[in-house]
Amino acid sequence: METITYQRKKVYDPILRLIHLWNGLAILFLMTTVWLSDLFEKGAGEKMLWHLHIYIGYGLVVGIVARLAWGIVGSRHARFSDMWHPIVWWDAVRNFNLQAKPRFGHNTLASGVYLLVYLLLITMAITGLSLAAIEHSMGPLNAWIGDMPWLKEIVEEPHEFIFYLLMGFVVIHIAALIWHERKDKTPLAQAMVTGYQYEVEQSNLNEGDHHA
């Protein structure tokens, strides 16, 4: 029977984990309100759902701002500098090498995707606040662009497109976690709950190479 030993290290701080949970739930609830609004289209509940969507969007904006701030002043593995690996990304593209070296913290290849997702979230937040002002006369941008209905066509399509991209990201992100846990025999998903990450001991890897 194969015995695997792990190194364990506290990597993700409580504030980062709380922000991750906050933003994840906000995105999930935003998706839910969109799906429900399709069911209640033209019905009495549609307006209420869109107002709820906007308020949840405010919550996501708070979470995005918190993540941006914590990415600058937070703990080592929460900082964006720990997710910036352009040499690794270039090597992956040039040599089609999608196998990242084990390390504590964010996966060096996946971190590039995470940074892109943050940019998409910022864009979605800006376009969402714009739509709230233009369509519902709500939010902090209402005083500036609430009377500019012509802006709707400019911001609506990017907002919806990014929304569907994020839906795809959520599905792929969860699937990738499950796949890597099975492939690498390393617990991953619990890291954003407990803060601890696990890596297979180097001796186990060497034995695996030897038997191969």
Is the Cβ–Cβ distance between 36 and 48 less than 8 Å? Answer: no
What is the pTM for the complete model shown?
0.88
Domain boundaries, the chain: 6-211
| DSSP alpha helix (H) spans, the chain | 14-39, 44-73, 86-95, 110-136, 142-145, 152-184, 191-194, 202-211
Question: What pLDDT was estimated at residue 63?
Answer: 98
Is the Cβ–Cβ distance between 158 and 127 less than 8 Å? Answer: yes
What is the block-wise mean pLDDT of the chain (212 residues), using blocks of 10 residues?
77 97 97 90 83 97 98 96 95 87 90 96 97 96 95 96 95 90 83 90 52 40
Residue-wise pLDDT tens digits, 61-85: 999 999 999 999 999 999 999 999 9
The set of long-range contacts for 164-171, using a CB threshold of 8 Å and a minimum separation of 24, is 165/120, 166/27, 166/117, 166/120, 166/121, 166/124, 167/31, 169/113, 169/117, 170/27, 170/28, 170/31
CATH 1.20.950.20 fits 6-211, yes or no: yes
Render the burial of 32-59: b for 16+ CB within 10 Å, e for the rest.
ebbebbeeeeeeeeeeebbebbbebbbe
What is the rounded distance in angstroms from the CA atom of residue 50 to the CA atom of residue 45?
Answer: 9
Which residue reads 């290849």 in tokens?
Answer: 109
